Amino acid sequence: MRITIVGAGYVGLVSGACFADFGHQVTCVDNDASKISALQRGKIPIFEPDLDRLVQNNVKNGRLDFSTDLAGPVREADAVFIAVGTPSRRGDGHADLSYVYAASREIAAAVDGFTVVITKSTVPVGTGDEVERLIHETNPSADVAVASNPEFLREGAAIRDFKFPDRIVVGTDDERARKVISEIYRPLYLNKAPVIFTSRRTAELTKYAANAFLATKITFINEIADLAEKVGADVQEIARGIGLDNRIGSKFLHAGPGFGGSCFPKDTRALIKTAQDHDAPMRIVEAVLAVNENRKRAMARKVASVFGGTLRGKTVSILGLTFKPNTDDMRESPSIPLITALQDLGAKIRAYDPEGMEQSKTELSEICYCDGPYSCADGADALVIVTEWEQFRALDLDRLKRAMACPVMIDLRNIYQPHDVIAHGFRYESVGRNTQTGGV
């Protein structure tokens, strides 16, 4: 099949590379000339494990290419995926669909013969209807079927998620579109990935419902963690105790500083706005978003409490800036409000992240960036683990203590066993575990 992906960002690039690896002929189109030029030179604009190898192999084998020209690739395509950004609209929290609608008009002007236009971007219910209307308004003779095929990719594990998906959701009532999309995903037949064909609006809402539910699980266990600290319980054992119930499951039950990233915050906001517009308010999701926003800055108070509530003149080292490991994505990372709150409390910040420091420089100021965890800890009064990178899981605690001015570790991801850290002479704090060991 000939596939054109409009948008060479995270979703578009991963999808395009994986479709090409299935054997399809894929062109990724983007109006950012510098990004396309970099991709043509073999430079990947995002960090995602194994993506560089996948792109390079498929470019080398002639199955994947990149272009700023949309008309030619769309004209030749059997299917066109819209994979442009849908950020939160400034001011009201609705998804900004301007990029989706602009792509729709450009696609409409270029299509030639029957073409399936598929929204891969995360879009509110009814967007497919508007895409279809815009295409026919722009080109009344266009022979197209508009479908929804939301993505369910985890940053840091996107390639595996694409090739071994839990499910593939397709929203279309058009039999021709169904056949084309079935052929596109046919290589996954041996993996036995269930393909769910449903209505377009149902597919669109499924994506938002999935993200809102996962965000709710995270927020729920974070609130349980707060209570566990107060009553002397262990949130990790609680998570295991409830996660072994197959009705609940163990995933997304890890207490921490709150969720971030490109999906959960904007998608919960967009779902809330859609629900309000249709007079079906989602009180649970509203509470999830509010609790999560408050939690990020509350983590700064957790750090300050170790020093009697003040950080004036203290140096705090931050390990981990990205919202999760194995990505360079800083979008709505918990580290941003945490660091700004620490600075507001008077702290000087040192920071290290294996992949996210360049991105961080556009979000945060007055930070000393370091070249490793030990140099980051040099002279620090407290070390805060914010992102659970594997590089931070087996630090030399004796070396760390020697580097620090004051041996205090605040582990916001619970990646260490309290007794191990305490045995090395640290004051240790974690999330949802009663691990406090005296003052400083």
Residues 6 or more apart whose CB falls under 8 angstroms from that of 68 comprise 29, 30, 31, 32, 33, 36
Span 114-124, average pLDDT: 97
Span 101-108, average pLDDT: 98
pLDDT at 222: 98
pLDDT at 435: 66
Percent of the chain with pLDDT over 90: 95
Span 286-291, average pLDDT: 97
Model confidence at 437: pLDDT above 80: no
d(CA 280, CA 260): 25
Model confidence at 223: pLDDT above 80: yes
Active site residues: 263
d(CA 156, CA 385): 19
DSSP notation for 103-125 = HHHHHHHH--SSEEEEE-S---T
d(CA 31, CA 102): 11
Model confidence at 436: pLDDT above 60: no
pTM of the model as a whole: 0.93
The band of 439, judged by pLDDT with boundaries at 50, 70 and 90, is: very low
How many helices and strands in the chain, by DSSP H and E?
17, 14
Q: Of 165, 167, 108, nearest to 139 (Cα)?
A: 108
Cα separations (Å) of 175 from 147, 170, 335?
11, 12, 47
Model confidence at 27: pLDDT above 70: yes
pLDDT tens by residue, 326-374: 999 999 999 999 999 999 999 999 999 999 999 999 999 999 999 999 9
Percent of the chain with pLDDT over 70: 99
Domain locations along the chain: 2-198, 208-440
Q: Of 154, 100, 107, 92, nearest to 128 (Cα)?
A: 100
What's the CATH number for 208-440? 3.40.50.720
Structural domain 2-198, CATH architecture: 3-Layer(aba) Sandwich (3.40)
Are 386 and 413 contacting, i.e. CB atoms less than 8 angstroms apart? Answer: yes
Mean residue pLDDT of the chain comes to 95
Span 279-283, average pLDDT: 96
Cα separations (Å) of 419 from 62, 308, 319, 400?
55, 23, 21, 16
d(CA 58, CA 14): 12
Q: Do 2-198 and 208-440 agree at the fold level? A: yes
